[in-house]
Structure 1
Amino acid sequence: MSTIESNIAKVTARIREAAQAVARDPDEVRLLAVSKTQSADAIRQACDAGVHDFGENYLQEALEKQADLSSLPLVWHFIGPIQSNKTKSIAEHFDWVHSVDRLKIAQRLSDQRPAELPTLNICLQVNVSGEASKAGCEPRDVPELARAIAALPRLRLRGLMAIPKPTEDPAEQRAAFARLRQLQSELGLGLDTLSMGMSQDLEAAVAEGATWVRIGTALFGTRAYPSQTATVATPHD
């Protein structure tokens, strides 16, 4: 068994145990492998171990991997900040976008989604912790923005996404995820997706209703960025 295969088994067990602890069906929680900075070979190994959903932050890197791995049955999720000049390629090459936080970006994605492709699955990113450095719309803006996005023709609004302020306190972790769940519930739009939880806090996220957990470090190990001499773990994983 490869290291990646072993790690996937461990994470899957964590998800199952976390779901069972709150009487949830573990099948309600899906694993999104955060593969930014990882090689195409690492993605192949994860696919061989049964993972088919991969999240990418960097567009050019993602497009190169998609071309290299086009023969595999993979589902691609864009989870990074979105610049206006990147929306066309994102609309053309991804199945999900988890990081929409303003109407202008959603409108561009809708306009640029090719007609021959299925509607693009969208999560609205919310800054639940109020951090100035974090992307995401303000919680108070969620109702108006969600309804506007839901009305766009080439998009399907699936739910909300958040990256709360890091904390080691399980109670604080759960409180942040509970805020996102409550926001979604109050919308009354019948949304089915909560994209929340990463390697260090997936148990709290599952307890509060996560349907996607975005896991990178626990699957692939800490990342080495080309411009850095030390390995680091970053948000979205």
Structure 2
Amino acid sequence: MQELIQRLGAVRASIDDAARRAQRDPAAIRLVAVSKTRTEGEIAAAAQAGQRDFGENYLQEALPKIEALLEHNLVWHFIGPIQSNKTRDIATHFDWVHSVSRLKIARRLSDQRPDGAPPLNICLQVNIDGEDSKAGVAPAETLELAREIASLPRLTLRGLMAIPAPADNAARQAAPFAALRRLTEDCRHHGLTMDTLSMGMSGDLDAAVAEGSTMVRVGTAIFGPRPVKTGETH
């Protein structure tokens, strides 16, 4: 676990360095540790080192971890694809959802958020590159969807999220992040309140921070190589 803590420290240092190069306050950038396939012990070790925000892709894997780690008072982010039959558990157990791209799903999350719970924080996932294989709302349809979601009673629309196609140089990495930033600015211009740009992972963190990311999602650089499950070939 000492190696995990050292890796976490190195990721935080990388974020701080990227922020300073971009002349930004490092405190304005939130680190979400992507903990899919990771054990409760690994998450607890990161929590004891001061990490509060954790991202999960798979609901059935996440629920036992959330229950087991209640004492750590963690902030849980759902960052995976959302099926309609999973919305109740997501609305009940998570603090943030980054992967909303349909009004139907947003309505279900709002309707199923428990009474007394604070509003569920929502980021719209935007298919910023227009990839056929990737989920997300089209950029041209983002403002309309954002307006509809902002009106739902038990949700708080916080901003936009994207997972751009991999790129092999800084300029290509920066382009989709800049496009998402401009889309956020357009939404604000039309009266929507947004304070979150969820973009950037280990390989493109510098470019994301330079373009205004307020939330980066990092997994392997913190936890080490992902365990290979039985039957997997990669």
Q: Give TM-score scaled by structure 1 length.
A: 0.95
Match of 1:203 among 183, 187, 206: 206
- Which string of whole-angstrom CA distances, capped at 9 and with x for unpartnered residues, describes residues 173-215 of structure 1? 1111000000000012120000000011111100000010000
- Structure-2 residue corresponding to 1:159: 159
Q: How many residues align?
A: 231
CA contact (8 A) 1:5 1:45 kept: yes
Instruction: Give the SS at the match of 1:201.
Output: helix
Instruction: Give the SS at the match of 1:123.
Output: strand
- Structure-2 residue corresponding to 1:10: 10
Deviation at 1:137, TM superposition (A): 0.6
Between the aligned partners of 1:129 and 1:227, the Cα distance in structure 2 is 33
What stretches of structure 1 of length at least 5 have no aligned partner? 232-237
- Structure-2 residue corresponding to 1:96: 96
Percent identical among aligned pairs is 60
CA contact (8 A) 1:224 1:230 kept: no
Between the aligned partners of 1:66 and 1:46, the Cα distance in structure 2 is 14
Give the AA of the match of 1:52: R
- Which string of whole-angstrom CA distances, capped at 9 and with x for unpartnered residues, describes residues 13-33 of structure 1? 110110000110000001000
CA contact (8 A) 1:37 1:225 kept: no
- Which string of whole-angstrom CA distances, capped at 9 and with x for unpartnered residues, describes residues 71-123 of structure 1? 11101000000000000000000000000001000000000001110000000
- Structure-2 residue corresponding to 1:39: 39
Q: Runs (4+) of structure 1 moved beyond 3 Å? A: 227-231
Deviation at 1:224, TM superposition (A): 2.0
Between the aligned partners of 1:13 and 1:80, the Cα distance in structure 2 is 27
Deviation at 1:229, TM superposition (A): 4.5
Match of 2:227 among 202, 224, 229: 224
Do residues 184 (structure 1) and 187 (structure 2) align? no
What stretches of structure 2 of length at least 5 have no aligned partner? none
Q: CA RMSD in A?
A: 1.1
Between the aligned partners of 2:52 and 2:232, the Cα distance in structure 1 is 31
Between the aligned partners of 2:203 and 2:15, the Cα distance in structure 1 is 12
Between the aligned partners of 2:4 and 2:93, the Cα distance in structure 1 is 26
Do residues 87 (structure 1) and 87 (structure 2) align? yes
Between the aligned partners of 2:44 and 2:233, the Cα distance in structure 1 is 25
Between the aligned partners of 2:233 and 2:48, the Cα distance in structure 1 is 29
